[in-house]
Structure 1
Amino acid sequence: MNTRAWLRGAGQLAAVLGAAFVMLSLLLIATGHDVTTALQAMVRGAFGSYYAITSATMVRMVPLGFAGLAVSIAFRAGILNVGAEGQLLVGAAAATALAVPLAGVSPLLAIPLMLAGGAIAGALWAGVAGLLRLRFGVLEVISTIMLNFVALYLTGWLVRGPLQEPTRINPQSVSLPDALHLPVLLEGTRLHAGVPLVVVVAVGAWWWLSQTASGFRVRAVGANVFAAQSAGGIAVGRTVFGAFLLSGLLAGLGGAVEYTGITYALYENFSPGYGYTAIAVALLARLHPIGVVGTALLFGALEAGANAMQRDAGVPSVVVSVVEALLILLIVAADRWSERMSTRAEMAT
């Protein structure tokens, strides 16, 4: 990416941040809250202390990053995968199911196996939507949304049935043994090994998309499926299905990392909507894998700040969710406007 593109991206990010600030302020005024008090609480919750940064903002960046990468890869292939939420949930459920038989195994083997199990489960879950699209022509927007609900209720059944803790009192799984937790990077914080892992995966995804033949095929299919098939000789069906699997794998890995690094148990409402927020994360990053890490950090700060705003200023955290939804609409509208202006400029010349 050249300097001009970086500057344009920085300008777009600044514009989005400004819009978010204005929208949040207007919502706070409309709901009768003190804007200054609420925003101060939000900033403190996200960046107000060393602990807030390492144990709130950065740890929320991890699941958002993995899910954002999942959405980004799918969208680059022309796949409207809005099922990262469900894929993340089944990834966490698979890692939880593996935790019991792996309890006595060395962490050096058990942790990678749980992460791999979560990734594979996410890939298989996305593969269902891929098969429905390729075999029956079912739009993935519909199938992935429906699969999100299936995953949600499946998780609820698991934590009240096969995976419920032994006392059968709480709707959650047994706590993960300390030995199987992801390593903590900084003592006294919740910053875990998933943080560098998501960065490494993002760099790997960027390299794969930009430097490999299979990555080129994904980009070509996403750019123009008819040209890719007729002029490029690309097996579109195979490429699309592979992108489905890779997208689900990344989201499932995010769920497994969240389970082994933060929650240490599976329960109802395991995800506060990371898979849905990931759509905004990916779009704001313009589907660039490395950019996803930065936007995931931004939305992680919003999530952390929303909790602090609710706790310290009495502002419902759903207000920030409304802002995130409005940001998605704003980004999509801006993209459409940019495309229309480019088309008009080309026609004029």
Structure 2
Amino acid sequence: MSEQVADAPQDSPRPDDHEAGAGRDPLSMLFQPGAWRLERRLHTRPVYELYATLIALAITAVIIGLLVIIVGVSPLDAFASLYEGAFGNRESALETLVQATPLILTGLCAAIAFRAGVWNIGGQGQFIAGAIGTWWVYDTFAGLPAPVLFVAMFCGAAVFGAVWATVASVLLVRYGTNEILTTVMLNFVIDSGLSWLLSGPWQANDTPYSQTERMVESTFLPRFFDDSRLHVGFALALVMAAVVHFLVRRTTLGFELRAIGVNKQAASYKGVSVGAAIIAVMAISGALAGLAGAGELLGLHHRINFEFGGQAVGFTGIIIALVARLHPAGVIVVAIAFAGLLNGATQMQVGTGIPAALVDVIEGVALVLVLLAAVACRYRLRKIAHHG
């Protein structure tokens, strides 16, 4: 009898185990280690992604509202002042579209690269490269007829932006260099190059400031209204959004880019030239950012200076692309919304005393929550079935 007791399993269930289990806390059973696992969904319905994004943005508004309350200001007053400065009247609404113009293009720059699984963080540098290319064409071929010069300047901007992005893609394809690191470092390289140009060969005569000469008026982009800065670059940005959508959804290259973004090895097995596609998408991505630089130079600034290089439109475009879920139409909407935040921040600061830097907080919180929403859409918790 004693041997049977000794041989019996030490953890053998007792008759009252089931009764004890029936009274256990359901939450402790739900989060029992090993009871659940995180797995990727095979398919995600677009409507779910839209709902998740809207919920994330709503939570962002709640969080910002709480921060505003802590400061001692009514959230309704703060948001009303922000809206008034962004869309409250015709003048502010048109100015918001002005600020949205480069953001749409840099958002498209990031979106098309990210769609292929290539992390182009160099939109800011490619934006500057586009401005440099525009000025170089203007300075070199100033004698061309105005229509021809316009086309040449935009082509120069696209080529310079594409070439600057291609440097990183070639290093990625040829040597396996991390594109995040190379694109970030190239931002600093071209920023330093611009500083040298502005204080050296391109510096305007008879001025102590590091800037180029002002461009002649015949090279300014036409404006839609006499009392607004909104120029035809905004229409160009909308056209490029349509082009990117067509390219991604209706062309062989677009299919290859989407396939690479899902699984590079599988795409390679299907006969896709992954390296060539990556170089192509980075060139397109850089060209879009370069066009943004041309639009800002020809439509607004008409000269390059340090203030031009200090614009963070390239980095903001990354946030816009991610919040828009890489969709060109979404990029337009989000870019206008973000431009509204930037344009309305001054009015909010004047009206409520809240620092305009709150806009940076809004952008950061929105990005984090939208990314979490994307993970929630693509993954699910599945309970592990126990047998025996």
Same fold (TM over 0.5): yes
Q: Normalization by structure 1: what TM-score?
A: 0.90
Structure holding more helix per residue: 1
Q: Which residue number corresponds to residue 68 of structure 1?
A: 107
Q: Which residue number corresponds to residue 281 of structure 2?
A: 243
- Aligned with residue 66 of structure 2, among 8, 26, 37: 26
Q: Note if 1:268 corresponds to 2:306.
A: yes
Q: Which residue number corresponds to residue 99 of structure 1?
A: 138
Q: Note if 1:253 corresponds to 2:291.
A: yes
Q: 1:156 to 1:322 in 2, by over 3 A?
A: farther
- Aligned with residue 155 of structure 2, among 95, 98, 116: 116
Q: Note if 1:161 corresponds to 2:200.
A: yes
Q: Note if 1:45 corresponds to 2:85.
A: yes
1:241, distance to aligned residue in structure 2 (A)? 0.9
Unmatched runs of 5 consecutive residues or more in structure 1: none
For 1:17 and 1:328, how far apart are their aligned partners in 2?
9
For 1:117 and 1:215, how far apart are their aligned partners in 2?
24
- Aligned with residue 294 of structure 1, among 333, 336, 346: 333
Q: Which residue number corresponds to residue 51 of structure 2?
A: 11
Q: Percent identity?
A: 34
For 1:255, give the aligned amino acid.
G
Q: Structure 1 stretch 317-326 or stretch 199-208: which is displaced more?
A: 317-326
1:143, distance to aligned residue in structure 2 (A)? 0.8
Q: 1:170 to 1:307 in 2, by over 3 A?
A: farther
Query: RMSD of the TM alignment (CA)?
Result: 2.4
SS of residue matched to 2:379: helix
Q: Which residue number corresponds to residue 33 of structure 2?
A: none
Q: Which residue number corresponds to residue 133 of structure 1?
A: 172
1:206, distance to aligned residue in structure 2 (A)? 0.7
For 1:51 and 1:274, how far apart are their aligned partners in 2?
22
Q: Normalization by structure 2: what TM-score?
A: 0.82
For 2:252, give the aligned amino acid.
A
Unmatched runs of 5 consecutive residues or more in structure 2: 1-43
Q: 1:303 to 1:5 in 2, by over 3 A?
A: farther
Q: Which residue number corresponds to residue 365 of structure 2?
A: 326
Q: 1:346 to 1:135 in 2, by over 3 A?
A: farther
For 1:235 and 1:41, how far apart are their aligned partners in 2?
52
Alignment check: 8 A CA contact 2:111 2:321 kept: yes
- Aligned with residue 226 of structure 2, among 187, 205, 217: 187
For 1:273 and 1:292, how far apart are their aligned partners in 2?
17
1:68, distance to aligned residue in structure 2 (A)? 0.6
For 1:311 and 1:177, how far apart are their aligned partners in 2?
36
1:155, distance to aligned residue in structure 2 (A)? 2.1
- Aligned with residue 233 of structure 1, among 262, 266, 271: 271
Alignment check: 8 A CA contact 2:129 2:293 kept: yes
Q: Which has the larger radius of gyration?
A: 2
- Between the two proteins, the alignment pairs up a number of residues equal to 342
- Aligned with residue 173 of structure 1, among 212, 221, 224: 212
1:211, distance to aligned residue in structure 2 (A)? 1.0
